[in-house]
Amino acid sequence: MIASAPAIPARPLKPSYDVIVVGAGSGGAAVTRRLVDAGAEVLLIEAGPAGIGIAEIDNPAQWVPLGRGAYDWGYDYAPAPRVNGRTIGIPRGKVLGGSSAINAMMWYRGHPRDYDAWENAGAKGWSFADCLPYFRRCEDWRDGASEWRGAGGPLRIERAAEMHPVAQALIDGAAELGIPVIDDPNGSDNEGAAPANFNIAGGRRWSAVQGY
């Protein structure tokens, strides 16, 4: 049974707004917050429910069924011969917080060379060095600020309180194979085996709607 989201107090619509943001997902929530902080009057439109105080969203252990549940748009990839003609779902959140409210909560920036390749291909301003200050600005990393990580930002990021035995076995197995074991996959080097980073705060999902 899907729990009902708590009601959000209705506000009367204004005759006009400076900006209309369509979609309160991971991007829309951040854009709206920054615009409001800059003094803009913003109308945020979202097709899904509030997504706050819903047990299966808040509880990280219940994320798996969310991808085909009431808070998913239900998109699919077209069947393809390379996957034996299967139809594979594309989980996209239909809820305040968007996909950050139904995903696996894992926080990874990707490899710095990908960003540098985008800039080299013509996307000026998208090198890793250009993006790093914004990554740091949005983070509230459990181990505090550093050259690579941010603290005090809207998105809480933690490691698991206790390493699952399977996860520990995978890291130990990587070490036996000669794969580097690194402390932080969002640090100076992300090539290797490491404990995952999660958008979790105090054992609960910390989606874009909580952050922004």
CATH number at residue 189: 1.10.1220.110
Establish if 188 belongs to a structural domain: yes
Are 98 and 124 part of one and the same domain? no
Establish if 70 belongs to a structural domain: yes
Establish if 208 belongs to a structural domain: no
Instruction: Look up the pTM and report it.
Output: 0.86
pLDDT number for residue 52:
79
* pLDDT tier at 3, thresholds 50, 70, 90: very low
- Residue 111 belongs to what domain range? 107-196
CB under 8 Å to 128, separation ≥6 — which residues? 112, 113, 115, 116
- The 10s digit of each residue's pLDDT in 108-150 is 999 999 999 999 999 999 999 999 999 999 999 999 999 999 9
Tally the domains of the chain: 2
User: Residue 138 and residue 113: Cα distance in Å, rounded?
Assistant: 21
User: Residue 29 and residue 208: Cα distance in Å, rounded?
Assistant: 6
CA dihedral over 212, 66, 23, 122, signed as positive or negative: positive
* pLDDT tier at 161, thresholds 50, 70, 90: confident
pLDDT number for residue 9:
61
CB under 8 Å to 61, separation ≥6 — which residues? none
